[in-house]
């Protein structure tokens, strides 16, 4: 069986890191991901995908990932079921990051510097 989710997009905000009561570190990030096709109006729609990042990976993204940075995320999808009043049930999906790759900064000048330095 396989549970793998891969997405590439830009961060909509800086990572929001919290330390839980049990001492574990968790960050929430949201990626803006442009669809590969145009809608009926001839524009590209964008999806906003919330991703949860735990422990060491949460520490790593604090230093490198800021609003506007493009990253690739390899993740798994986890399901949650909640019982609501009146016998209703709510099923939710959560995306849990397993690996994050830094692809590009939000500044065109910085991207150019990275490209130039990689050629040397």
**Mean pLDDT, residues 70-92:** 91
Residue 71, C-beta contacts closer than 8 angstroms, at least 6 positions apart:
8, 9, 10, 11, 31, 65, 100, 101, 102, 103
**Overall average pLDDT of the 78-84 stretch:** 90
pLDDT at 119: 37
Q: What does the block give as tokens for 1?
A: 């069986």
What's the CA angle centered on 79, arms 76 and 83, to 5 degrees?
Answer: 165
pTM of the complete model:
0.77
Report the pLDDT value the prediction gives residue 105, as an integer from 0 to 100.
73
Token readout for 101 is 């790759």
Rounded Cα–Cα distance for residues 28 and 97 (Å): 10
Residue 103: predicted pLDDT:
87
Give percent of the chain with pLDDT exceeding 70. Answer: 88
For residues 119 and 42, the model is more confident at 42
| Fold classified for 5-119 | OB fold (Dihydrolipoamide Acetyltransferase, E2P) (2.40.50)
Q: CA 117, 73, 20, 17 torsion: positive or negative?
A: positive
Contacts of 65 by beta carbon, 8 Å cutoff, 6+ apart: 11, 14, 15, 29, 71, 100, 102
- Per-domain boundaries in the chain: 5-119
């Amino acid at each position: 069986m396989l549970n793998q989710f891969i997405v590439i997009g830009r961060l909509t905000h800086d990572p929001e890191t919290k330390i839980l009561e049990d001492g574990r570190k968790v960050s929430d990030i949201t990626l803006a991901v442009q669809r590969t096709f145009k809608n009926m109006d001839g524009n590209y729609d964008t999806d906003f995908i919330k991703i949860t990042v735990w422990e060491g990976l949460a520490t790593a993204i604090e230093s490198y990932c800021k609003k506007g940075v493009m990253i690739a995320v390899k993740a798994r999808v986890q399901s949650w079921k909640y019982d609501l009043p009146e016998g209703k049930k709510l099923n939710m999906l959560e995306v849990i990051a397993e690996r994050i790759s830094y692809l590009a900064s939000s500044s065109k000048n910085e991207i150019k510097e990275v490209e130039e330095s990689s050629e040397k």
